[in-house]
Amino acid sequence: MSKTILITGSTSGIGLGIAKAFAEKGYNVAFNGLEPNGAEIAQQVADQYKIAHTFSPANLMQPDAIRTMVANAIKTFGTIDVLVNNAGIQFVAPIDEFPDEKWDAIIAVNLSAAFHVTKAVWPAMKAQKFGRIINIASAHGLRASEFKSAYVAAKHGIVGFTKTMGLEGAPYGITCNAICPGYVDTPLVEQQIPAQAKAHNMTEKEVIEKVFLERHAVKEFIPIELLAQTALFLASDDAKTITGIAMPVDAGWTAQ
Ligand code: NAD
């Protein structure tokens, strides 16, 4: 029987790349995301790889919607074997201009949602004595940058959550690990270029070279496919004794 993966924020960017890689391996995929054409995007992946799928437009700021999404996926597929807490948002501003509602939204989506989804999935993983939880954190879970107070706080938080779930999952065959990417060319990064340019008083080209890739020893964006392959490895039996880690995939950023 095919295994099932639930990926939050899987109708764009990194989450979509992870969905395609697992679909290629024959996983059933439970998609989620706020893209208006999310159902269509999920259907296209399912058609391409001939897999079973569900799509939920649940807003991860709402714990009730999260619980419904997880219950529906379990009802459809019987269980969830792999959970990827991937959905995330960003906002860039100096602390004295940082809107309170942006702080609350970033903590809700990038940190609290992972708690609520994990809590909802946990009983099914515990019952079957197998589970793989992969949190898409960030190099910003290990390092700070100015003007990203909420994002850096949330990503450091999810690294701590990962370690705790690694310990709690160990007796039940559940592993929990975080992947900490450097900069990846996705809509999330594209959207912050104008605000970064304003905050740093730079052109948009200078932001790419001096703010983003300046941190990378390897002067390239991280390919989405590399992150998807990392997730596949962490979900495999070979990775059964790897748990509670925050794995940088960051072109040498955190080596500095
Ligand atoms: P993206 O904007 O392409 O995708 C984000 C996904 O999350 C989308 O599908 C979006 O609909 C979904 N989402 C956002 N808010 C949501 C909500 N309230 N409810 C449900 N879904 C919601 O971004 P991405 O770059 O692919 O980011 C994915 C993850 O990777 C995020 O956690 C991000 O912090 C992390 N990350 C990204 C980079 C990068 O450089 N792009 C680097 C490190 C970590």
pLDDT tens track for 8-39: 999 999 999 999 999 999 999 999 999 999 99
Q: Is 231 in the pocket of ligand 1 (CB under 6 A)?
A: no
Ligand 1 mean position, distance from CA 171 (Å): 31
Residue 153: what pLDDT? 99
**Quick one: tokens of 160?**
């701590």
Q: Is 183 in the pocket of ligand 1 (CB under 6 A)?
A: yes
* 134, 228 contact by CB (below 8 A): no
Task: Please tell me whether residue 142 adopts helix, strand or coil conformation.
Answer: coil
Ligand 1 mean position, distance from CA 12 (Å): 7
Q: Return the best residue to mutate from 85, 183, 185, 188 for the ligand 1 pocket (most ligand atoms within 8 A of CB).
A: 188
Q: Is the pLDDT of residue 195 over 90?
A: no
Query: What percent of the chain stands above pLDDT 70?
Result: 100
Query: How many Å from the N-terminal Cα to the C-terminal Cα in the chain?
Result: 45
Ligand 1 mean position, distance from CA 169 (Å): 25
Which residue, by CA, sits nearest to atom 24 of ligand 1?
13
Which residue, by CA, sits nearest to atom 23 of ligand 1?
188
**Share in percent of the chain as helix, strand, coil (round to 5):** 55, 15, 30
- pTM as predicted: 0.97
Report the C-alpha gap between 114 and 134 in whole angstroms: 10
Catalytic residue among 27, 49, 151, 183, which?
Answer: 151
Sign of the Cα pseudo-torsion (115, 120, 121, 123, in order): positive
Asked if 151 is an active-site residue, the reply is yes
Of 20, 17, 123, 106, which Cα lies nearest the Cα of 70? Answer: 123
Ligand 1 mean position, distance from CA 10 (Å): 8
Atom number, ligand 1, closest to the C-alpha of residue 188: 2
Q: Is 138 in the pocket of ligand 1 (CB under 6 A)?
A: yes
Please tell me the number of Cα atoms within 13 Å of 212 on its side-chain side: 25
Amino acid (1-letter code) at residue 216: H
Write the CA distances from 185 to 20, 40, 57, 181, 182, integer angstroms: 17, 22, 23, 11, 10
Q: Is the pLDDT of residue 188 over 90?
A: no
Atom number, ligand 1, closest to the C-alpha of residue 35: 11
Helix (H) / strand (E) element for 41: namely helix 38-49
Report the C-alpha gap between 106 and 148 in whole angstroms: 10
Report the C-alpha gap between 54 and 39 in whole angstroms: 9
Eight-class DSSP state of 12: S
Q: Is the pLDDT of residue 237 over 90?
A: yes
Lookup result for tokens 């296209």: 44
The mean pLDDT of the chain is: 97
CB neighbour list of residue 219: distance below 8 Å, 6 or more residues apart: 213, 251
Residue 52: what pLDDT? 98
Indicate the CATH number for domain 4-182+222-251.
3.40.50.720
Atom number, ligand 1, closest to the C-alpha of residue 105: 18
Q: Which residues pair with 82 in a beta bridge?
A: 5, 132
Residue 60 phi, psi dihedral angles, 5° rounding: -70, 0
Ranges of beta strands (E only) in 109-173 are 131-136
Domain chopping of the chain, boundaries: 4-182+222-251
Residue 211: what pLDDT? 86
Task: Please tell me whether residue 177 adopts helix, strand or coil conformation.
Answer: strand
Helix (H) / strand (E) element for 176: namely strand 174-181
Ligand 1 mean position, distance from CA 48 (Å): 23
